Amino acid sequence: MRVTALRLPEVLLIEPRVVSDRRGFFLETYSRQRYAEAGVGAEFVQDNLSRSVRGTLRGLHLQQPHGQGKLVSVVDGEVFDVAVDVRVGSPTFGQWVGQRLTGEDHLQLFLPAGFAHGFCTTSETALFHYKCTDYYDPEAELGVAWDDPDLAIAWPLPDPITSEKDRALPRLGDVPSDRLPRYEARGPGGLP
C-alpha cells in the first residue's frame, strides 16, 4: 500500500495493493493495523454506500460538532472527489483538493474531520463507499455551497444534478465562524 499526502497535507491518497490475474482481482480495502502503520490511525464506526447517476454532485458536507473523518473510495464507476479545509485558523483554510477515483484504479482518499467533502459522478453511475470516524448526527449537519466562487472548485461538469438541500447551502464566508471546526496542528492523515 502506498500513501501520499496531497496539496492539503492532511488529506491522504491511498493506493492499496491489488493482486490481479485472469480471474479478476483481490484487494484489502481496510485493515486497522496496516492503515495505522501507514499514518491513518482513525477508528471508523460507520460505513455508507451511495449510488449516483452521471452528473450528480453531492456536497459539500461535514458535521460540527461530531466531525467525521472519512475514508472514501469508488466501488464501481468514477467520481471527482473534493475535500475543502474549513477549519478556522488553518493555514490552508478555504483551500480545496480534488482527486479522480474509480472502481478500476481502487484509489482511496482519507480526509480527517474538519474538511467539507463532496463528489461529482462522471461515469454513467457510481457506487461510492465511505467509512466514517463518527456516527451521522442530523443536528450536527453543516455544509458549504458546492459552487462558492471564493472556493473556485474546478468541478468537471458545468451543470450538475444537486439536491434542493445542497442548492441551499451557504458560501463558506457566510457560515458563522463559531459554527465551523477549529484548527489543531496535526500531521499527515490528521494525526497529532
114, 70 in Cβ contact below 8 A?
A: no
Point out the catalytic residue in the list 30, 117, 130, 136.
130
Within 10 angstroms of residue 97's Cβ, the number of other Cβ atoms is 21
Within 10 angstroms of residue 80's Cβ, the number of other Cβ atoms is 19
| 136 assigned to active site | no
| 130 assigned to active site | yes
Could you tell me if residue 41 is left (phi over 0), alpha (psi between -120 and 50 degrees) or otherwise beta? Answer: alpha
Pairing state between β 78-85 and 141-143: unpaired
116, 181 in Cβ contact below 8 A?
A: no
Residue whose C-alpha cell reads 459522478 in the numeric block:
121
Point out the catalytic residue in the list 61, 66, 135, 183.
61
Cβ-based neighbours of 4, under 8 Å, separated by 6 or more: 12, 13, 15
Cβ-based neighbours of 137, under 8 Å, separated by 6 or more: 63, 66
Give the active site residues: 61, 130
